[in-house]
A and B are shown apart, each in its own frame.
Chain A
Amino acid sequence: MTKGLIDLDRVGMTYQAASGPVEALAGISASIGAGEFVSLVGPSGCGKSTLLRIVAGLRPATTGTITVAGRTVTQPIPDIGMVFQAPILLKWRSILENVLLPAELAGKDPGKLRPRAEQLLDMAGLGGFGAKLPRELSGGMQQRAALCRALLLDPPLLLMDEPFGALDAMTRDDMALELLRIWGEKDLAREARKTVLFVTHSIPEAVFLSDRVIVMSARPGRIAADFRIDLPRPRTVELRASEAFGKLNLEIFRALTGKTIVGTAL
């Protein structure tokens, strides 16, 4: 197996529910290279979010090993940025103070990171909003602030758990473009980009963003298919209307549902 930034070797996870043990993940093996943007798609409850937390060291795997940057993950690892479905900003802190939170939690001097926090906010289009409270911002803006917070300590790995799932469709498409821009799709060489593991329900979103889309099957979650997305970067709005884009969507849809669409001429 090739050595990636993240290596999953036969990872399985079983948890105890009231009705007995539930196998959430089984035999997940995958290798994700540095600078790769990888999406995990799958039906609800297939364990994609659990897998993300296992990679972060936040939940223990029952079987198998997880290696991130050459180290076996047994406890939470610090070199990651996490973005969740909800922005979970602290209501009593200004946006800037929220972005600086990781510095405080990690025992670093927030004063020193202030310029970086401000620069991140600028980049995310939140330049004038550092002093505002979260509730004064829209959902999309709050999620951008959460992204800035995840990027503050410049982690090589970004774990995103349905980060745009709570946003309306239009904001969602905007955020996808924004994320690619911040990720450095245009300005950074591939090796200089962060590795992103992105959990989503939306196939078009996964195709639009990713270098690779990993399709998971229903419980217990297994890898059902692994698609390489060779669409040109930087990705544009027009891409969504292209034939190649549509074709990939359909293939992934088929892999996901395990069937062809009935009643169409395809």
Chain B
Amino acid sequence: MTKFGTLANRYWPTLALFAFLLASWQAAVTFGNIREYLLPAPLSVWNALWHGDTAWAGHLWTTTLEIIGAFLMAAVVGVALGVAIAWSPILANALVPFLVFVNTLPKVAIAPLFLIWMGYGIFPNMLMGALIGFFPVVINTAVGLSQVEPDMLDLGRVFNAPKWKIFVKIRIPNALPYILSALKITATAAVVGAIVGEFVASQRGLGYVIVTTQSSMNTSVAFAALVWISVVGLVLYGAVVLLAHLWAPWAEGVD
């Protein structure tokens, strides 16, 4: 069977369900006389996406930048903190309680402070996304680096291998599937963070578009913005899945 054939075989139930839901939605709005500002029909959303007054490209660009920035920050800082925790018990004791505290704070509640400290702009929204998404990376990195069979470490000790070598050759590859698994969560969290940031303070972006539709009751535009947000989110998520496939093929089907 061709690759396309296999994919079609696997995903036709998903596509069929999706098409059915869209059709039911359209039918409900058309025949049920639901008012446009409450629930716009899929076709109105489609129109808002392609023929409306909203300059999507600019908003999409802003939000995408924020999401990618948030994701990269969360990944880099998360892995660095995870390595620090796994490397040194002293650092672990210093960092872990603090990180747990940061993680229990409702990040949404900090967003207004970001506005006071940093004003409007892309960076505070990136930071919000990073703040929401970095914690699973820290934990999974630390766990992945530590979950090495003791016998394997004994093997390293027999050959008097230096600590860094054990890290590079054994611990880090071992942690890779854990890290990639956490990054899937981070990909979603980055989207949430960027949008939350835009809700609180922004002059551009898809979250900003949604906020403005509240006053204009232009619900179809809000739905269109949601479509774009999920497209960005899905693409980022897909990229992480692809990365996992390329970097850690041995761990396929682990999570």
Contact = CB atoms under 8 A, between A and B. Distances in A.
Interface in A69-116: 76-78, 80, 82, 84, 86, 88, 90-92, 101-102, 104-107
Contact of B161 (A82, A86, A106, A133): A106
Contacts of A8: none
A19 B141 CA distance: 33
B53 interface: no
B160 A106 contact: yes
B152 A105 contact: no
B178 to A, nearest CB: 13
Interface stretch (B65-73, B86-94, B165-173, B200-208): B165-173
A111 to B, nearest CB: 16
A105 B151 contact: no
Contacts of B101: none
Contact of B151 (A86, A91, A135): A86
A88 B149 contact: yes
A107 B162 CA distance: 9
B149 A77 contact: no
Interface residues of A, number: 22
A181 interface: no
A154 to B, nearest CB: 13
Contacts of B248: 92
B147 to A, nearest CB: 12
B154 A53 contact: yes
Nearest to B176: A92
Nearest to A134: B250
A28 B251 CA distance: 44
Contacts of A24: none
A90 B156 contact: no
Interface string A105-141: 1110000000000000000000000000101000000
Contacts of A101: 155, 169
B155 A135 contact: no
Given A90-B173, A92-B250, A105 B154 contact: no
A84 B152 CA distance: 9
Contacts, number: 55
Contacts of A78: 158-160
A82 B149 contact: no
B245 interface: no
Contact of A82 (B158, B160, B173, B250): B158
A180 interface: no
Interface residues of B, number: 21
Contacts of A104: 165, 169
A251 to B, nearest CB: 33
A111 B166 CA distance: 19
Given A105-B161, A106-B161, A133-B250, A88 B170 contact: no
Interface in A220-236: none
A58 interface: yes
B250 A102 contact: no
Contacts of A58: 154, 157-158
Contacts of B160: 76, 78, 106
Nearest to A155: B158
A105 B250 contact: no
Q: Which of B149, B151, B156, B161 neighbours the largest number of chain A CB atoms within 10 Å of its CB? A: B151
Contacts of A84: 151
Contacts of B174: 90
A129 to B, nearest CB: 16
B170 A90 contact: yes
Interface in B42-93: none
A91 B254 CA distance: 12
A92 B248 CA distance: 8
Interface string A18-62: 000000000000000000000000000000000001001010000
A105 B149 contact: no
Contact of B250 (A77, A86, A88, A91): A91
A82 B157 CA distance: 11
B159 A105 contact: yes
Interface in B130-186: 149, 151-152, 154-161, 165-166, 169-170, 173-174, 176
B155 A105 contact: yes
Given A84-B151, A105-B165, A92 B173 contact: yes
9 contacts: A58-B154, A58-B157, A76-B154, A82-B158, A91-B251, A92-B173, A105-B165, A105-B169, A133-B250
Given A76-B157, A92-B250, A105-B159, 19 more contacts: A53-B154, A56-B154, A56-B158, A78-B159, A82-B151, A82-B154, A82-B158, A86-B149, A86-B151, A88-B155, A104-B169, A105-B155, A105-B161, A105-B165, A105-B169, A106-B160, A106-B161, A107-B161, A133-B250
What 3 pairs across the A-B complex have the smallest Cβ distances?
Answer: A105-B159, A105-B161, A106-B159
